[in-house]
Amino acid sequence: GAVVSQHPSWVICKSGTSVKIECRSLDFQATTMFWYRQFPKQSLMLMATSNEGSKATYEQGVEKDKFLINHASLTLSTLTVTSAHPEDSSFYICSAYVTRQGNTIYFGEGSWLTVV
Amino acid sequence: QKEVEQNSGPLSVPEGAIASLNCTYSDRGSQSFFWYRQYSGKSPELIMSIYSNGDKEDGRFTAQLNKASQYVSLLIRDSQPSDSATYLCAVKPPQGGKLIFGQGTELSVKP
C-alpha cells in the first residue's frame, strides 16, 4: 500500500489565489521530504527539500516566497502555491525516505494543479 | 555533462522481447541507484534498487550495476504492453539526501 499520501489529487484554482497541497507519511516519520514539479512530457524537477522543524532548502531558480513549504510535524509537509498563475499549472509530487523499506525514496500520488 | 543521463527514447520493443534501458552517472562516489516507472499522468513508482556491482533480479526485472563504468541498466524480460511507461533512473550522490534523476526513457511495448 501507499506509504506517502498526497492531497488533493487535483485542484483547480483561480489566478491570483493560493492553493495548499499536503504530503503525509503513513506509519512512519519523515524528517525530510522532497517536492517536485513536472510539466507534461518533461522530467521531474526538484523544487525544494522540506526539513521538519526548519526552513526548506530551495533549488536554484525556485521562488521561495511563491512556493511556501511548511514541515511542521514528522508526518506532514505542505506546499502552498501563492498568487497562482496559469504558468504554475503542473503536476506536483512529494516524496520521502522510507527507512523501513531500505531507506528508499517513495513518491506520493501527485497533485495536478490547474490555474484558470 | 548531465549528472544522470538516459536515452530519452522512445524505445519500442515487441511484446515478449527483452527491453534494455541504460543510464550513466557522473559522480563516481555514488552508492545507491534506483529505477522508477512512471505511467502517463501518474507519479513514479519504485521498481528496483541496487547498491552493489553485478545483477539484481526481481521477477521479470533485472538491474545491473557497474560502478567502474558508472553505468546502471534495467532489463525487462518478456515485455508486456502494460510495461509501456517512462522509466526513470535515479542516483543518490555520496553527499546529501536528494536523488538525482535522469530525464527518463519512454518505453513502448507493441502487442
Chain A: nearest CA to B18, how far in angstroms?
Answer: 24
Residue type, B59: G
pLDDT tens digits for range A54-92 = 899 999 999 999 999 999 888 999 999 999 999 999 999
Name the nearest CA neighbour of B46 among A33, A79, A102.
A102
Chain A residues with CB under 8 Å of B101 CB are 43-44, 46
Going by pLDDT thresholds of 50, 70 and 90, the confidence category of residue A1 is low
Within the 16-35 window of chain A, which residues sit less than 8 Å (CB to CB) from chain B? 32, 34
Residue type, A98: V
Other CB atoms within 10 Å distance of the CB of residue A105: 24
pLDDT tens digits for range B54-101 = 999 999 999 999 999 999 999 999 999 999 999 999 999 887 778 899
Region of B8 (left: φ > 0; alpha: ψ -120 to 50; beta: rest) is: alpha
pLDDT value at position A102? 63
Chain A residues with CB under 8 Å of B42 CB are 109-110
Other CB atoms within 10 Å distance of the CB of residue A18: 12
Residue carrying C-alpha cell 517512462: B86
| pLDDT, average across residues A42-51 | 91
Say if CB B63 and CB B35 are below 8 A apart. yes
pLDDT value at position B2? 73
pLDDT value at position A2? 65
Share of chain B above pLDDT 70, in %: 99
Chain A residues with CB under 8 Å of B99 CB are 34, 105
Kindly state whether A43 is in contact with chain B, defined as any CB-CB distance less than 8 angstroms.
yes
pLDDT tens digits for range B23-66 = 999 999 998 999 999 999 999 999 999 999 999 999 999 999 99
Other CB atoms within 10 Å distance of the CB of residue A82: 15
Name the nearest CA neighbour of A44 among A33, A56, A34.
A34
| pLDDT, average across residues A47-60 | 92
Residue carrying C-alpha cell 534498487: B49
Q: In whole numbers, what is the pLDDT of chain A averaged over residues?
A: 92
Say if CB B3 and CB B98 are below 8 A apart. no
CA B107/CA B102 separation, integer angstroms? 15
Say if CB A14 and CB A114 are below 8 A apart. no
Going by pLDDT thresholds of 50, 70 and 90, the confidence category of residue A3 is confident
- Is residue A61 packed enough to be buried (19+ CB in 10 Å), middle (13-18) or exposed (0-12)? exposed
